[in-house]
Amino acid sequence: MIKFPMWKYFIVICAVIVGFLYTLPNFYGEVPAVQISGGRSSIVVGPDTISQVSSGLKADGIEPTGEVFDGKTLKFKFANTDTQLKARDAIQQTLGDNYIVALNLISASPDWMSSINANPMFLGLDLRGGVHFLLEVDMDAAVKKTLNKYVGDVRRDLRNNQIRYGAVSVDNGSVLIQLRDPATANLVIDQLTKDFPKLQAVRDGDSNVRIVVSATEMQTIKEAAVKQNIMTLHNRVNELGVAEPI
């Protein structure tokens, strides 16, 4: 039987104990948290921020389970995601727009472990299952942008056909044409119907013509806005290199 000096056994035992100690944080899991950082380089997160946020949470009846401050960012821990979301809204209202308030997950290990740098192994996006994008498109802005485009097209079309008009503007989800001569209303309707078959031109009073966007065309506009945003996301993300393209 091979015998080793006692000091070697002692080193092995110490290595196992230290290794086990620094492995423990991985078994505690993560808890929901709200992270606070300055919106600009001139905005500093400090003790005053901690006091202000704590007072705001207390006023809303929200109790954090802990806090972590690393000198630049402040993180408040919460028991569950529902409390986390309520706290995020309360903190944003308390601090205003000068601070960035974001949802986060941080280790649930005891503070004394963090004090000796016994931190968990943080998983990358590949081990967490990737990233899920929730894309929200401002449909009202997309429709308004398209209507403004129609305004320019209608003005150009009327000028090219030497039809005098007073003004062309967006009005209540449609394009309103104010005519100088009411007698030209039928001429304007015929010309616009010919040049813009996807739009519907109708009389609106004695001296106005209104261009109404059909439900089918409106749906096409919204679908095009969604596709355009997806394409923008596609170009910006895929150029960085991902495992599976969007």
CATH number of 6-115: 3.30.70.260
Q: Give pTM, 2 decimals.
A: 0.47
Q: Residue 226: is its pLDDT beyond 60?
A: yes
Is CATH 3.30.70 the right assignment for the domain spanning 130-246? no
Question: Would you state the structure tokens that stand for residue 179, as one six-digit string?
Answer: 């005519």
Return the SS3 of 13.
helix
Distance, CA of 25 to CA of 121 (rounded, Å): 8
Predicted confidence (pLDDT) per residue in 119-140, tens digit = 887 766 666 666 666 777 788 8
User: How many Å is the Cα radius of gyration of the chain?
Assistant: 31
pLDDT in tens, 177-218: 888 888 888 888 888 888 888 888 888 877 888 888 888 888
Where along the chain do its domains lie? 6-115, 130-246
Q: Could you please report the per-residue DSSP string of 25-56?
A: GGGS-EEEEEEEEESSTT----HHHHHHHHHH
**Rounded Cα gap, residues 221 and 236, in angstroms:** 23
The residue ranking higher by pLDDT, 232 or 238, is 232
pLDDT tens for each residue of 49-108: 888 888 889 888 999 988 888 878 888 999 888 999 999 999 988 888 888 888 888 888
Q: What is the distance between the alpha carbons of residues 137 and 145, in angstroms, rounded to a whole number?
A: 13
